[in-house]
Amino acid sequence: MRKVDVPDIEVVERVELPSEETALVIVDMQNDFVKEGGKLRVPTAESTVPSIKKLLEKARSKDVLVIYTQDTHYEDDPEYRIWGEHVRFGTWGWEIIDELKPIEDREIVVRKTRYDGFYGTPLDDLLRIYNIKNLVIVGTVANICVLHTAGSAALRWYKVYVPMDGISALNEFDYYAALRQINFLYKGVIVENVNGIEFV
């Protein structure tokens, strides 16, 4: 195994974001990725649930727009050739975990068929309808769906914020690679933990 040094990642302790211009985006926190018995379980995903839940409660208390992405696949989906069958529509594994269930008449669920939450979805349109400028992004898998969604957001000139305790990856390398890319390439703000994110 070859060891590499992680390049510097700028981390801030605290940010204040205007509630009416900010959305919390919760990426793919579904049973197949998070829970024991899930078909593509991320080992550290469950440990992020308390942090994400705390941030979700903060967002709800300040009427921040909350959007979930829900990875969604169907029979014979080409992605199964890469990862095996996972988050198949209508299964237990496809459902968002109970701890973070959306409020049906208040929060938005965007079903996506690829890694990127913007690709082939109404996400950008929804954010523009609500005049959103800032995205706080949490969820799993850090270097795949989180990274692609964050990158796609930045390419549309949304300002991206990612708390370090709110994302998870299949391994430590992928975790830090995602943080590095979000910070270095997309100029996203990496926040030490969810306690440092305040909606005002």
Write down the catalytic residue from 32, 145, 159, 165. Answer: 145
Residues 6+ away with beta carbon under 8 Å from 166: 48, 51, 52, 55, 138, 139, 193, 194
Across the chain, where does the E strand assignment appear?
Answer: 11-12, 15-17, 22-27, 65-71, 108-112, 134-140, 159-163, 167-168, 189-191, 197-199
Write down the catalytic residue from 112, 116, 159, 165. Answer: 112
Question: Is residue 28 annotated as a catalytic residue, yes or no?
Answer: yes
Q: Are 68 and 26 in contact (CB under 8 A)?
A: yes
173 residue type, one letter: F
Alpha helices in the chain (DSSP H): 31-34, 49-61, 80-83, 123-129, 147-155, 172-184
Question: Is residue 145 annotated as a catalytic residue, yes or no?
Answer: yes
Planar angle of CA 177, 86, 81, nearest 5 degrees: 80
SS3 71: strand
CA gap 59, 138 in Å, rounded: 13
Write down the catalytic residue from 28, 32, 71, 165. Answer: 28
Question: Is residue 98 annotated as a catalytic residue, yes or no?
Answer: no
Q: Which residues are catalytic?
A: 28, 112, 145
